[in-house]
Amino acid sequence: MIDIKFLRENPEAVKENIRKKFQDQKLPLVDEVIELDAESRKTQQEADGLRADRNRISKQIGALMGQGKKEEAEEAKKQVNEFSERLAALEAKEAELSEKITKIMMTIPQIIDPSVPIGKDDSQNVEIERFGEPVVPDFEVPYHTDIMEKLHGIDLDAARRVAGNGFYYLMGDIARLHSAVIAYARDFMIDKGFTYCVPPFMIRSNVVTGVMSFAEMDAMMYKIEGEDLYLIGTSEHSMIGKYIDTIVPGETLPHTLTSYSPCFRKEKGAHGLEERGVYRIHQFEKQEMIVICEPEDSPYWFEKLWQNTVELFRSMDIPVRTLECCSGDLADLKVKSLDVEAWSPRQKKYFEVGSCSNLGDAQARRLKIRIAGKDGKKYLAHTLNNTVVAPPRMLIAFLENNLNADGSVNIPEVLRPYMGGKSKIEVPAK
C-alpha cells in the first residue's frame, strides 16, 4: 500500500505506475481516493474545530454556575450537547470515509522499482543469468511421479481416497529425501547467519490483509470456519506478521530469519500435464527466508536472498537460471521480484522453484512495522522474502537431474549426512 500523501501529491505518477502494470481499470480509483481524502480531511477539520469549541464552552459552564448565571450555563450546556451530537455524526462519517479510502488504497499497486522491465504477463519476464550447464541425458527421463513410483516413493491413489486431488503420500527413501532437503536448507541458511524459526501455521485476518493483496488472498488462503484464522500459504505470512504493530530499534537491524512450515494453498484453476503429480498441490513444506531492514538496505538484501537460493540448488547439482519479473507479473505489493527456475531434463526447459521479492514499505505500512532511528524519528521498515527450497516441487528437479538410466538416483555429497550416508537411492528389488 502506497503512502496516501504521495498519491495526493503525485497522482499522475501513481496512474503511470498503474498503466505500467497493465491495470488500467484501476485508474479511476486514484481520482476517487483524492476526492474521498479531501472530504475526509474537511470532515476531520470540522470535527477538530467542534472538539475545541466544545471543550472551551464546557470549561465555561462551571464558571457561569459559580457566578449565578444559571440561564447562561444552561444555554452553554445545550450548545455543548448540540456540538456533541454533531461531533458524533462527523466521527461516524470519518470512520466511513477512512474505511472506503483504506479499501481502495489496498487495491492500488505499489510503485515498482525503475529497473523492473515493462511487460504484460510472465511470458515477458526477462532471463538474467544461468548457473550450471543444462544436460539432457541419452535416455528418456520419465514423468516425476513415475520415477517416484519406481522407487516405491509415492502413493497418489491412497491420497486421493483420503483427501482428494492435490495431495500425496511420500514413502520410504523419497520421503526421507524430502526431509533431508528441508534439513539441509535449514542448516544452509543458519550457516548464512539467519536465525531459525518455526512460526504459527495459522494467522488472523489482519495479518493476511497486511501481507498480501485481496486477489492473492482469495486465490490462495483456506479459512478456518467459525474462527478468525487462516492456514498460511507460506511462512513468510506469519514471519512478517511477527512484527505487526511494533517499533524496531534501528541498531538491531537487519533482522534475518529463516523459517520452516507446512503451506496450504487452494491453487484454483486447471493446469497442464507438467503441473500434475506433485508440482502444484494443496499442501507442501517449505524453508523460507525473510528480512526486515532499513529502506536503503533492501536492494542489497534482494541480491543476497536470490543468490542464496541459486547457491543452494547448485550445491545439489541442479542447473538454474534467474528471471526478472516484468511489471505485469508483479503482485500489487511488490516493488521488484525475481524467480529462480530449475532445469528440467524431461521438459528440456526451466520451471519455477522459488521467488524472491522486495516489498519496499508496503507490508510495513499495512502492518505498522516501524523503525526507531538514532535521531528519535520513526519510519517504515522494508520487508523482503525468498524461497530457500520448497519440496516436493524441488524434488522434481532433483530427481530428473540426478537420475540414472537404471532408475536409481544419485545423492549429492551435501545431502548424504541427512540420508544416513547413502550415495544413491536404488530401485527396490521386485
pLDDT digits (tens, 9 = 90+) for 210-238: 998 777 777 788 999 999 999 999 999 99
pLDDT bracket for residue 82 (50, 70, 90): confident
Cell of 105: 488504497
Q: Are residues 90 and 164 in the same domain?
A: no
With a cut of 60, say whether residue 48 has pLDDT above it.
yes
Mean pLDDT of 189-215: 93
3-state SS, residue 5: helix
Q: Are residues 85 and 129 in the same domain?
A: no
Q: What is the CATH number of the domain that holds 48?
A: 1.10.287.40
Using a pLDDT cut of 90, give the percent of the chain over it.
Answer: 80
Distance CA 6, CA 28 (A): 17
Q: Are residues 155 and 9 in the same domain?
A: no
Q: Is the dihedral of CA 337, 343, 348, 352 positive or negative?
A: negative
Q: How many domains does the chain fold into?
A: 2
Half-sphere exposure of 177 (CA within 13 A, CB side): 31
Q: Are residues 225 and 368 in the same domain?
A: yes
**For residue 213, how many other CB atoms are within 10 A of its CB?**
19
Per-residue model confidence as pLDDT tens digits over 140-176 = 999 999 999 999 999 999 999 999 888 999 999 999 9
Task: Give the closest residue to 354 by CA, choosing from 388, 328, 327.
Answer: 388
Residues 6+ apart with CB under 8 A from 162: none
Per-residue model confidence as pLDDT tens digits over 310-327 = 999 999 999 999 999 999
Question: Last residue of some domain: 105, 133, 163?
Answer: 105
Mean pLDDT of 414-423: 96
Q: Are residues 224 and 261 in the same domain?
A: yes
What domain range is 292 assigned to? 122-425
Question: 321-335: b or e for each residue (b if 16 or more CB lie within 10 Å)?
Answer: bbbbbbbbbbbbbbb
**For residue 66, how many other CB atoms are within 10 A of its CB?**
9
The size of the chain, in residues, is 430
With a cut of 50, say whether residue 415 has pLDDT above it.
yes
Top-confidence residue, 253 or 280: 253
Q: Are residues 392 and 417 in the same domain?
A: yes
With a cut of 90, say whether residue 22 has pLDDT above it.
yes
In a domain, 430, yes or no: no
pLDDT bracket for residue 244 (50, 70, 90): very high
**For residue 286, how many other CB atoms are within 10 A of its CB?**
24
With a cut of 80, say whether residue 355 has pLDDT above it.
yes
pLDDT at position 64, please? 72
With a cut of 50, say whether residue 253 has pLDDT above it.
yes
In a domain, 114, yes or no: no
In a domain, 314, yes or no: yes
In a domain, 303, yes or no: yes
Q: Are residues 393 and 323 in the same domain?
A: yes
Q: Are residues 78 and 181 in the same domain?
A: no
**Gyration radius of the chain's alpha carbons:** 28
pLDDT at position 272, please? 46
Residue type, 105: M
Mean pLDDT of 34-55: 90
Q: Are residues 134 and 199 in the same domain?
A: yes
Residues 6+ apart with CB under 8 A from 122: 325, 326, 329
Top-confidence residue, 408 or 74: 408
Q: Are residues 252 and 398 in the same domain?
A: yes
Mean pLDDT of 95-102: 94
In a domain, 223, yes or no: yes
Task: Give the closest residue to 14 by CA, choosing from 125, 117, 112, 155.
Answer: 112
Q: Are residues 76 and 126 in the same domain?
A: no
With a cut of 80, say whether residue 66 has pLDDT above it.
no
> Which range is least confidently modeled, 230-239, 262-271, 378-387?
262-271
Question: Last residue of some domain: 78, 105, 132?
Answer: 105
With a cut of 80, say whether residue 73 has pLDDT above it.
no
In a domain, 115, yes or no: no
**For residue 144, how many other CB atoms are within 10 A of its CB?**
25
The DSSP code for 321 is E
- 196 phi and psi angles, rounded to 5 deg: -80, 140
Distance CA 221, CA 243 (A): 21
**For residue 225, how many other CB atoms are within 10 A of its CB?**
6
pLDDT at position 274, please? 47
Using a pLDDT cut of 70, give the percent of the chain over it.
Answer: 98
In a domain, 402, yes or no: yes
pLDDT bracket for residue 273 (50, 70, 90): very low
**For residue 421, how many other CB atoms are within 10 A of its CB?**
8
In a domain, 116, yes or no: no
Distance CA 398, CA 400 (A): 6
Residues 6+ apart with CB under 8 A from 99: none
Q: Are residues 374 and 238 in the same domain?
A: yes
Q: What is the CATH number of the domain that holds 401?
A: 3.30.930.10
Q: What angle do CA 126, 128, 131 make, to 5 degrees?
A: 135
pLDDT at position 271, please? 52
The DSSP code for 227 is S
Distance CA 262, CA 287 (A): 9
